[in-house]
Amino acid sequence: MRGFAITIDSLVALTFFFMAMIIISAQTYQPSAPGDVYLKQLTLDVLTVLEKTGDVNAILAGNTTPAYQVVEATPRLACMQVTVLNGSEDIVALVVKSGCNQTAGLDMQTAERPVLFNNTRFIIKSESWLRKAG
């Protein structure tokens, strides 16, 4: 009878242990977003950061250094390109993340917003894609 009680006690302890592990893993597990959703959010975030920090105005004034810093701060797996176009859709400024060619890779995402600078309308366009493996 004594061995039976120890066996039941062990089973109860193991059950509590596994239940605790399941609860802990459920709290820490975070499913990853699909690649295209992640890239779209990254593309929109870069535009927001450039607008909120005033870097868009710096680009239009001829200083692309702050924009390069923002683009280079994006995750390594993503390539990023920021383009500023004038009303005729001519390229005014172009910032490309180092190590990324200008041809798109996988899951290309694009976002653009109009910008007014010195009473002239411009479009800032952000594009991102996954870096090709290799």
Of the candidates 62, 50, 54, 65, the one whose C-alpha atom is nearest the C-alpha of residue 125 is 50
The string of pLDDT tens digits covering residues 71-126 is 999 888 888 999 999 888 889 899 999 888 755 556 788 899 998 888 889 999 99
The domain spanning residue 60 has which CATH number? 3.30.1140
Query: Domain check: are 55 and 120 in the same one?
Result: yes
Query: Domain check: are 49 and 97 in the same one?
Result: yes
Judge whether 115 and 122 are in contact, CB under 8 Å. yes
Measured between alpha carbons, how far is 74 from 79 in angstroms, rounded to an integer? Answer: 8
Tokens 């923002």 belong to residue: 70
Q: Band the pLDDT of 32: cuts 50, 70, 90.
A: low
Query: Domain check: are 19 and 39 in the same one?
Result: no
Query: Domain check: are 65 and 91 in the same one?
Result: yes
Residue numbers of the domain that contains 2: 1-30
Give me the percent of the chain exceeding a pLDDT of 70: 80
Query: Domain check: are 80 and 113 in the same one?
Result: yes
Q: How many structural domains does the chain have?
A: 2
The predicted structure's pLDDT at residue 125:
92
Query: Domain check: are 12 and 40 in the same one?
Result: no
Token pair of 72 as six digits: 């280079």
Query: Domain check: are 20 and 56 in the same one?
Result: no
The string of pLDDT tens digits covering residues 111-129 is 999 988 888 899 999 998 8
